Amino acid sequence: MKTIDTHIHIWDFEKASYSWLENDTSLLNRTYAIGELEKERKEAGVDAGVLVQAANNFEDTDWMLEVAEKTDWIRGVVGWLPLTDPEATERALQDKYLVNPYFKGVRHLIHDEPDARWLLREEVIESLRILARHHLTYDLVGILPEHISTALRVAEKVPDLKMVFDHLNQPPIQKGERFGKWGELIRQASAHPNFHAKISGMGTTSGKSGTWDRHDIVPYVEFVLDAFGVSRCFCGGDWPVSLLAGSYSYSWTRYREAIRLLLHEKEQEKVFYENARIFYQLSPK
């Protein structure tokens, strides 16, 4: 079954700075190149991929675009823009990103901002309106219920902006909660047609390193499939962050097991491939 991995990171300390890794003592604190993924990508049955920003700077975005151009299976890039400065955001788009066929969307590391309501800053909202006008998507990397409630307000202010909850905005897998405040807010978000759900990062969210399985994630995957519908969900591997909870192929095996339990083949094709292609407007190379 054709598969698009909508959440792949690369980072190179010689190309950009990654402040969140400065004091990290895990296996993540080194350069990760796209070539490292090649063998396991094939084993996992992944046909195409989307690179997603890992730093709030232009250097990271420019590096991803350079790699995308040279890597035949990478179809798109979710980059970064200075959303606190609408003029600079528009200028960057006009000067270099709108003409780049790989630039598909934008993300900011909102979970690292002290204010969970960072996206509601007036200047950020204006920049998000710019994204909507240019038909660019926005990836929400939230970890708190307040990040979801903030996204709900954003949807009111920028109703034409297509957004996706990366890693399902951290469902309460570790607590075994079914489904608490997270579930209430996700249900509210699903009522807005421009919200989508990215089934990714479930291994690290579970808190189980290499021992999580489909039973840990099926209730939450089933919940979002029911809430958003089969046409607004897609998958991402979250490599190399996912390595904290097991290998790349291990994660994809668990996702496939869970989704095959819940959906028939035609629906699986949407979740593994077609929905991602439409959301990110991906073209075949």
User: What 3-state DSSP class applies to 100?
Assistant: coil
Q: Please state, in angstroms and rounded to a whole number, the distance separating the CA atoms of residues 285 and 275.
A: 18
**What CATH superfamily classification does 4-279 receive?**
Metal-dependent hydrolases (3.20.20.140)
CA atoms within 13 A on the CB side of 33: 6
Task: Check residue 210 and give its pLDDT.
Answer: 87
Element (H, E) at 164: strand 163-165
Q: Please state, in angstroms and rounded to a whole number, the distance separating the CA atoms of residues 245 and 208.
A: 6
Q: Please state, in angstroms and rounded to a whole number, the distance separating the CA atoms of residues 93 and 99.
A: 8
The answer, yes or no, to whether residue 162 has pLDDT greater than 90, is: yes
* pTM reported for the whole predicted model: 0.98
The answer, yes or no, to whether residue 267 has pLDDT greater than 90, is: yes
Taking only the tens place, the pLDDT of each residue in 5-44 is: 999 999 999 999 999 999 999 999 999 999 999 999 999 9
Taking only the tens place, the pLDDT of each residue in 218-231 is: 999 999 999 999 99
| CA geometry: angle 4, 7, 13, nearest 5 deg | 130
